[in-house]
Amino acid sequence: MPYFYDLEFASTTNATPSTETTQMAGKQVAAGAVLGLYGFILCGRSLTAGGGAGRTKTNTAGGTVFSGGTAQTPTTKEPRAPAAQSTWVNGGTAITAGTTLLVRNSVGFAQTGGTGGLQPITPQAAIQVEGGTTPNPVDIEFTNLSSTASIACDITLEIGEGL
């Protein structure tokens, strides 16, 4: 059974309406455990009605990995669980996106607070990063965009390591 972790980030969508910004990203260390995405939740916090979306992308093996961002450590669900092996960043400082990104899902949220998100129906249905000598895909990235500029949007990721 995996060890589970969560990460939260209070993001702000792009200053140009309907423009994507990379808000969070993660990758597994070499020879790390299989990394799975078990939850991706977005919550808009605006007084202005409108629509937003969050997208999950994987960076195909061979692509250049994302860079930059502010390092963020996943919080363990079980307090005595080991620290996550994977490394994660948020957009506290700008993230430069990877190069061979494939959109894996897109979930909607209401700018005024209607939460949007997804959770896989089984662990095998989770988007996974194989943790070999060279992880594949090389990273997983999360973006959001909204019809109104600069919307406050909380993002929660739930991840697991091992299957």
Partner 1 sequence: MGTLFPIGKKVAITAKSPVPVAGSGDDHTGKTGKVRGYTDLAKDDIIHVVDLDEPYFVYGPNDPKFDVVTGKPVQGNKVEWIEVPGSCLS
Cα distance between residue 152 and residue 20, in whole Å: 14
Q: Which is nearer to partner 1, 56 or 86 (CB)?
A: 86
- The distance of closest approach from Cβ of residue 59 to partner 1 in the complex, given in angstroms and rounded to an integer, is 12
**Which CB atom, from 7 or from 116, has the smaller least distance to partner 1?**
7
**Least CB distance from residue 122 to partner 1, whole Å?**
28
Q: Decide whether 68 or 113 has the Cβ nearer to partner 1.
A: 68
Shortest distance, position 123 Cβ to partner 1, whole Å: 23
Residue 85 or 148 with smaller CB distance to partner 1: 85
Pairing of strands 51-59, 87-96: unpaired
Q: Where are the beta strands (DSSP E) in 28-100?
A: 35-44, 51-59, 67-72, 75-76, 87-96
Q: Where are the alpha helices (DSSP H) in the chain?
A: none
Q: What is the DSSP letter of 31?
A: T
CB of 27 to partner 1, least distance (A): 6
CB of 28 to partner 1, least distance (A): 8
Contact residues for partner 1, defined by CB under 8 A: 25, 27, 29-32, 65-73, 85, 87, 89-90, 92-93, 96, 133-134
On whether the CB atoms of residues 5 and 159 are closer than 8 A, the answer is: yes
Summary count for the chain: helices (H), strands (E): 0, 12
Give the nearer residue to partner 1 in terms of CB position, either 119 or 134.
134
Q: Which residues fall within 8 angstroms of residue 122, CB to CB, at 6 or more apart?
A: none
